[in-house]
Amino acid sequence: MAEAITIHKSQGRSESKIVIDVRNPSKIKNHMDRQKWYVAFSRARSLNGLYILGAFKPPNEIKPDDNVNAEMNRLRQNPLVPKYQFLRVVPENVIQIVSHNTQSIRKHITTIVSDQVFSSSHIVTLQESWAIDNESYNIPDFEEISRN
């Protein structure tokens, strides 16, 4: 059984097998930019699951005066200053509680463990953790009290 969807509808999905048909370059040329190619090709979970019908011709390289390069240069010159920097250093007279919708602790445990805001907090609550009953999740300096 086969299923076809547009690139727009494929955003946010990942599939074990993806077929991308590039056999009609005249139709593709006017409709495909770098971003759409990225979305199309990155839906496959692995290179072995990516099938390309026809001869794929990569889009032209980004030129130095391209809007993306200009924006990257602007961001380098004006780095983002974290608005919530104060959460990383907690005064002694404050108890910091973090409540976070993790959408899978198994997938995000390394991020949680390495995040300075989490490690600076006194209490961490995780929602939508999808924790597996018999699995242990080690977050240094924290003790699991409850799991529902």
pLDDT tens track for 84-120: 888 888 889 999 999 999 999 999 999 999 999 999 9
Residues 130 and 124: beta-carbon distance below 8 Å: no
pTM: 0.45
CA distances (Å), 83 to each of 86, 97, 106, 118, in order?
A: 8, 18, 28, 16
- For residue 105, count other CB atoms closer than 10 A to its CB: 19
